[in-house]
Chain A
Amino acid sequence: MSSQRPSAWYAVPAFGFFALFAVLPMLLVIYLSFTAWDGLGTPALNGGENWSRLLEDSEARASVWRTLVLMVVSWLVQTPIALLVGVWAAGKQRSRAVLSSIFFLPLLLSTAAIALLWQALLEPNFGAFVGGPLFLGDPDIALYTVVLVISWQFVPFHTLLYQGAARAVPPSLYEAATIDGASRVSKFRHITLPQLRYTIVTSSVLMLVGSLTTFDTVLILTNGGPGTATRILPLHMYITGFSGFEMGYASAIAVVLVVLGTALSLAVMRWSGFRQMSSQQEGS
């Protein structure tokens, strides 16, 4: 019987490929964080120099803070909208089906396309809001404007998650509540929300990790500016490595990014008592 089963060789190409281009880079980035490298020559070990420098780098600390603000505000903006629109779109009415097919349109655009579109839209002299706020040009609101763009891009995805989950809630629960005379709001609070709790966790992890690693949107929209108002951690890493040619130091920042991302996913899952993550969800 066992000879009829596929040999382990069937898995070797996939595993090998993944080991070479995903696992090896993860190990290499740790190694590189202990080297000095300008991107051209050979990386040379320099002990813990990058790490002690990182501890004293006020720009890095500021970019961690901006990243946290971006994560929290994006979560606060996106979750209620995605939840409400998703539950609404789960209804069987024809009008809802038609509208939800429009709601998903932003998903078709690449990040680059979305960033360029919004940049034109918010342009202070010829955009759609001439005479309004400066948006991306105002250091006080540039980061929140980035949140707006990110939300426009990603709410449709999370809506899709909530729509699917809301459709899976057993209708009998609502019928029983209706017979008991429950109001619409109370049904939402006492049936829909508890039934969607795993989806809320999944969606939140994806949102938080997604904002932690936001990169291309900000690079195109502001390149970290005005000044350093939107220079978040991944962008700080990119600019340090590929514009400042300090690849070793940038690798140390990359390690921080990995640690933060992993800690964040674990914390949300632990805090919400959700253990089935590895078998069901997660992603990029």
Chain B
Amino acid sequence: MKSRPNWPAGIFALVWLAVVVGPLLYLVTVSLRSRAEYLGKSVWEMPDALSLDNYVTVLTGGFGQYLLNNVIVTVATVAIVVLVTVPAAYAVVRNTSPFVQKGFTLLLMGLAIPAQATIIPVYLMITRMQLYDTLTAIILPTAAFALPVAMLVLVNSLRDVPRELYEAQAIDGAGPLRVLVSLVLPLARPAIMTVVVYTALNAWNGFLFPLVLTQSESSRVLTLGLWDFQGQFGTNVPALLAAVTLSVLPIFAVYLIGRRFLLSGLTAGFGK
């Protein structure tokens, strides 16, 4: 059915487009200005020249270390979450024992726990475990708080697998471990991708646990590094915004390559 264009909605969408794009344009254009231009000219005026100097300043100012820390935290968090949730989701779908089922219900209730409310006890535990100011201190709670959504996504996807497929494997004499590798892993691949993206985004952008559980420069992650740049650069806002732009680039690259996976990871667990 052909419908006539919806002008009011179209205009509203264009206004919203300006609201979304405006700040992003500001981010990129200011990061390309020199500090003198930033202080001397309005951002609405055309700059005399654009330069990448701010990016050089940032890249020689500890950014590499923070980036590396971010990659380590993200990869380790994703690895832990995937390694523990895939077998657990398989057990929830195929093992009817009360321990597994009650445990899963309890884990889902964890969806309602705000991480903010647990930072004080987590800080206590991490200092008692002698892990304060290490990357491990960030990884452990970040992974734990990703578990409920990860389990929800995986269990929902494995529940859609017909029972006959499991039974056919069993008749062929396959043990649970072989079923996990040859049936569950391939069938759950899209769900695992969603979990990977969801967990990676949370770990990459995490702020609260790094803030409370680390201190020194050697264990600083990107989000805290940005915050620290703010103090370090003072009024050199163009350099700060260059750092912000650089911190977004890796995720932007993922967005360009796999938009579908990224968006499914973002809305993990909330409908289709």
Chain A residues close to B by CB (< 8 Å): 1, 4-11, 13-15, 17-18, 20-26, 28-29, 32, 37, 39, 43, 81, 84-85, 88-89, 96, 99, 101-113, 116-118, 120-121, 123, 126-128, 130, 152, 156-157, 160-161, 164-165, 168, 175, 178, 184, 199, 202, 206, 209, 212-213, 215-216, 219-220, 234, 237-238, 241-242, 247, 250-251, 254-255, 257-258, 261-262, 265, 278, 280-284
Contact = CB atoms under 8 A, between A and B. Distances in A.
B94 A5 contact: yes
A242 B132 CA distance: 14
A30 B1 CA distance: 59
Contact of A241 (B27, B120, B207): B120
28 contacts: A4-B175, A5-B95, A6-B87, A10-B180, A14-B88, A14-B151, A15-B107, A17-B147, A18-B144, A21-B145, A43-B124, A96-B13, A99-B17, A104-B255, A110-B248, A111-B223, A117-B241, A156-B20, A157-B266, A213-B114, A234-B116, A238-B119, A242-B212, A254-B118, A255-B117, A257-B116, A282-B108, A284-B115
A116 B95 contact: no
Contacts of B90: 6, 10
Contacts of B23: 117-118, 121, 152
Given A10-B176, A161-B271, A29 B113 contact: no
A11 B92 contact: yes
B267 A161 contact: yes
A261 B114 contact: yes
A95 B170 CA distance: 51
A189 to B, nearest CB: 14
Interface residues of B, number: 106
Nearest to A30: B121
Given A280-B269, A283-B148, 13 more contacts: A10-B91, A17-B147, A106-B20, A107-B266, A108-B251, A110-B223, A126-B38, A157-B267, A160-B266, A161-B271, A216-B207, A282-B111, A284-B111
A267 B251 CA distance: 36
B9 interface: yes
B120 A116 contact: no
B205 interface: yes
Interface of B: 1, 6, 9-10, 12-13, 16-17, 19-21, 23-24, 26-27, 30, 38-39, 42-44, 80, 83-85, 87-88, 90-92, 94-95, 97, 99-100, 103-125, 140-141, 143-145, 147-149, 151-152, 169-170, 174-176, 179-180, 202, 204-205, 207-208, 211-212, 222-224, 226-227, 230, 237, 240-241, 244, 247-248, 251-252, 255, 259, 263, 266-272
B263 A160 contact: yes
B43 A161 contact: no
Label chain B's interface by main secondary structure.
Answer: helix
Given A6-B94, A160-B263, A127 B43 contact: yes
Contact of B20 (A8, A28, A105): A105
A88 B116 contact: no
B99 to A, nearest CB: 5
B27 A24 contact: no
A28 B117 CA distance: 11
A76 B190 CA distance: 35
Contacts of A123: 237
Most buried by A among B38, B116, B252: B116
Nearest to B85: A14
Label chain A's interface by main secondary structure.
Answer: helix
A162 to B, nearest CB: 10
Given A32-B120, A81-B16, A202-B270, A116 B230 contact: yes
B170 A103 contact: no
Nearest to B70: A110
Contacts of B80: 17
Contacts of A111: 205, 207, 223
A18 B202 CA distance: 17
A8 B267 contact: no
A43 B123 CA distance: 13
A121 B237 CA distance: 10
Nearest to A220: B227
A22 B114 contact: no
A24 B100 CA distance: 19
Nearest to A103: B20
A21 B92 contact: no
A24 B91 contact: no
Contact of A103 (B16, B124, B147): B16
A202 B271 contact: yes
A10 B175 contact: no
A101 B181 CA distance: 36
Contact of B13 (A22, A99, A161): A99
A126 B144 contact: no
Contacts of A24: 121, 125
Contact of B259 (A7, A101, A126): A101
